[in-house]
Amino acid sequence: MDNQAKVNAVNNPSIQDWLLGVDGIATRLRQLRGQRTGREVAQLSGLRPAKLSKLELGQQIPTPADIRAITAATGAGAGVTEQLVAKLAEMPSVQTAAARRSLFGQLATQQRLAEMAQAASTICVFDMVRIPRLLQTLDYASAHLADQARQVGVDPELPAAAEAVMAASQVLTRQDCRVEVLIAEPAMRWPVGGPAVMRKQLDWLSSLISSGNGRIGVLPLDAPLSAYPAHSFELFDEVGCLPVLHGLVTLSSDQTRRYRSAYEMLWEGAVEGRKARKLVQTLADRI
């Protein structure tokens, strides 16, 4: 790509997904900043604060000079610098639908999430709009993925993408991984896939709560909270992610800590065990 094409490519959600991936350049640049403020790093690197912010948010593609300036300002070694410069040279061309699917499609996203789940020792999930992927039935996962695909105009890549969701759910049976999942009540009210699919999903959720595999809580609509959630998120050890329609947004280490703190506050209003099953069953009976 020439420089002008790179500037324009930032408007492509697929390129932004690549920059914001778990090991994406934007993600790595945010992590290198650590506890420093953006203004401090901008001053040390000679970049404008607004530009540094855009680079960290995946809104602008860095040049090799940008990367070298930031790594020098943050004290990263030469190895890290050259690794990021080499990664920039590998920035994918996403001119064809096939290329977009292979890197950023439904299947690729679900496979990345499954890999993150399998590698994690602690998983914390909060979802306010859908049944969390780790607790989904195959029919619910298929319906949800198809709906997301329609909204962004991509191939849902079924059944492979749904099967990847099922693969991620196997983490619930692992003894070496602590899994906590918190579900807001509205996620259990919207009948994704229709009444039959939703009833089966809620029955499965109730059985999972009874099984004791992982900690599963429900956040009732009338729960008194000290802070109210803005959106769903997933935390894999020290890596935080925000699910979006076209993939994932990876959080910085500082943002992940803030979301973990918010997550703990949300649990203060949650119900578990028998109370959670009763609420799930009540909602299932209304379908």
Question: For the segment 10-67, what is each residue's pLDDT rounded down to a tens digit?
Answer: 556 667 777 888 788 999 999 999 889 999 999 999 999 989 988 998 888 899 999 9
Specify the pLDDT at position 245.
Answer: 66
Residue 177, CB half-sphere, CA atoms under 13 Å: how many? Answer: 23
- The residue with greater pLDDT, 84 or 109, is 84
Question: For the segment 95-139, what is each residue's pLDDT rounded down to a tens digit?
Answer: 444 444 444 467 878 888 888 898 999 999 999 999 999 999 999
pLDDT at residue 7 is higher than 60: no
**Which of 231, 287, 222, 285 has the alpha carbon at shortest distance from 263?**
231
| Predicted structure pTM score | 0.68
pLDDT at residue 267 is higher than 90: yes
Burial 196-208 (b: 16+ CB within 10 A, else e): ebbbbbbebbbeb
Specify the pLDDT at position 99.
Answer: 43
In sequence order, which residues have a C-beta less than 8 Å from that of residue 253 and are 6 or more positions away?
A: 30, 31, 34, 238
Question: If you search the block for the tokens 């500082």, which residue do you land on?
Answer: 254
Specify the pLDDT at position 9.
Answer: 40
Report the amino acid identity of residue 281: Q
Question: For the segment 218-260, what is each residue's pLDDT rounded down to a tens digit?
Answer: 999 999 888 788 889 999 998 898 887 656 777 878 888 999 9
Average pLDDT, the chain: 87
**Which of 190, 216, 211, 204 has the alpha carbon at shortest distance from 286?**
190
Give the domains, in start order, of the chain with CATH numbers. Answer: 3-89 (1.10.260.40), 105-285 (3.30.870)
**Which of 213, 133, 205, 211 has the alpha carbon at shortest distance from 173?**
213
